[in-house]
Structure 1
């Protein structure tokens, strides 16, 4: 069974991540995701059919929690208005805040956490492409849902087109409901807060944030319960795939670094050492009249036998 790395067990990286490389990477990935999400708009009739299929499946399984929650949020402004602010803002505030916190306080786990989030996000984009889904708030009124964000639009910056600011509804894909990345990203935040939080408050936030987000997306009629389940499944798939993505990225970096290195100079042909005037000598050879070095014991391991003439000359000195 292949080894699976987790955000809590990643080995310490060879170098600490740098914000000036991480920030452009995250901005680029999110920009690609946003543009891709906008470009994958499918047929409205197909989206409505998919939404009704999910609603009927939930009713058959007795999982239809959206109607009672939506009626409660519509009837009670003290619940509906905070829920709309929660849906419209925390998705874009808490997620980067947790990412920065992991980067600063738990750098050894940052790359795994960042890769997990990005991998899951791109899997979600595949879901938007293959299964455009009409959220409950855009179904015909006869299905009993109220768009709470349109209902309470006077309290916030949004209008009747999801959480987009008034007049900018065309900049969002309102049929990208399956899976719910509001729930998926909240679950990612919750896992990291639970694993790495050092206080009871942090761990409690890790449990409550994804739970409340799930209730909010259903109560505001932006998602079905099965959208939330799919969002959790997408995060699970991204969690399992993240170690493989990390390894592939490491191999790509190694190949890129190797390609940038200049080719090593070819070694020159082996040549014998040159003695003065291009005379060559080899081990064991000696020059005439060369003084012989004696070792401490008087042995002359390097000396060659002296000729008789040499001995006679030495005796006459």
Structure 2
């Protein structure tokens, strides 16, 4: 019994109800994010016009390298398949696993990351409403191919805008935002140097993935990084209100909400 209590205290430092509370917060936030994201009027014509504007901006800045990068990667089925797998799992398997690890083993920093991600989802929804944009895969005239569709055998663009899906929600790239909000905190918290290097470079890997799979332009990635930066600042500001609970790397064992 003593050992069981010790293990429970280690893996559930604030008790089982806090676990339920955190799962409920993330589930509610993500469901609301998906519902609002999918429920936004697709405005296809505007989305394509906005995406073409992004292409024009990148061409004007001489950074429109996405077609060349995907063409290079397409020469290897291994690269495109691995990139497609990472794209499909980055925001689900990887992010969820990282959050679980944070809660269990670096609980003092979990709540800061949680606050960042909730703020980021709100900011992303504003972006989807204000600036709907089609992803690169919808521009075959530029040589783009949907690597994820080839990998899975399912064409997502055949689906209509629904309560949980909107193909014109490309700005900002939340793959990049999530990668930053997960990767860089973990780079500070893990002990092994190799893992620190991996998590520090993880956002750059995800940026490469979204370009190779033709799901985002580089401009989307930059805007996703800006969302992560604003969310981190917001989480730091929130931590001033409850430093004992929401500060990154806090050492207090008091109950959090």
Q: Same fold (TM over 0.5)?
A: yes
TM-score class, shorter-chain normalisation, is 0.7 to 0.9
| Alignment partners' CA distance in 2, 1:80 and 1:168 | 25
- Specify the alignment match of 1:177 in structure 2: 170
Q: Are positions 1:142 and 2:135 aligned together?
A: no
Matches within 5 A, 1:23-172: 23-139=23-139, 141-150=140-149, 152-153=150-151, 156=152, 159-161=154-156, 170=162, 171-172=164-165
Task: Report how far residue 247 of structure 1 moved.
Answer: 6.0
Q: Specify which of 177, 183, 186 is matched with residue 190 of structure 1.
A: 183
Contact persistence 2:134–2:167 (CA under 8 A): yes
> What is the CA distance between 1:144 and its match in structure 2?
2.1
Q: Provide TM-score, normalisation by structure 1.
A: 0.67
2:214 maps to 1:221: yes
1:136 and 1:221 in contact (8 A); partners too? yes
Q: In the alignment, what sits opposite 1:202?
A: 195
Conserved? CA contact 1:41–1:175, under 8 Å: no
Query: For the structure 1 residues 83 and 144, does the alpha-carbon distance in structure 2 shift closer, same or farther, using more than 3 Å as the test?
Result: same
Q: Would the aligned equivalents of 1:73 and 1:148 in 2 still touch at CA under 8 Å?
A: no
Unaligned runs of 5+ in 2: 1-12, 244-257
Single out whichever of 167-176 and 197-206 deviates more from structure 2.
167-176
Higher relative contact order (CA 8 A, sep 6+): 2
Counterpart-to-counterpart distance in 2, 1:37 and 1:59: 29
Q: Please, what is the CA RMSD of the aligned residues?
A: 2.2
The 3-state SS of whatever aligns with 1:64 is coil
Residues 41, 132 of structure 1: 8 Å contact kept: no
Following superposition of structure 1 onto structure 2, how do residues 251-266 of structure 1 map, counting pairs within 5 Å?
none
| Superimposed CA distance per residue, residues 128-150 of structure 1 (whole angstroms, 9 cap, x where no aligned partner) | 111000111112x3222112223
Tell me the SS of whatever aligns to 1:243: helix
Q: Which residue of 2 aligns with 1:240?
A: 233
Contact kept in structure 1, 2:67 and 2:142, CA below 8 Å: no
CA distance in 2, matches of 1:217, 1:61: 20
- For residue 149 of structure 1, give the secondary structure of its aligned residue in structure 2: helix
Between 100-109 and 124-133, report the one with greater CA deviation.
100-109
1:15-30 map, 5 Å: 16=14, 18-30=18-30
Q: Contact 2:90/2:175 (CA < 8 Å) preserved in 1?
A: no
Which is helix-richer, 1 or 2?
2
Compute the displacement of 1:241 (Å): 1.1
* Matched length: 228
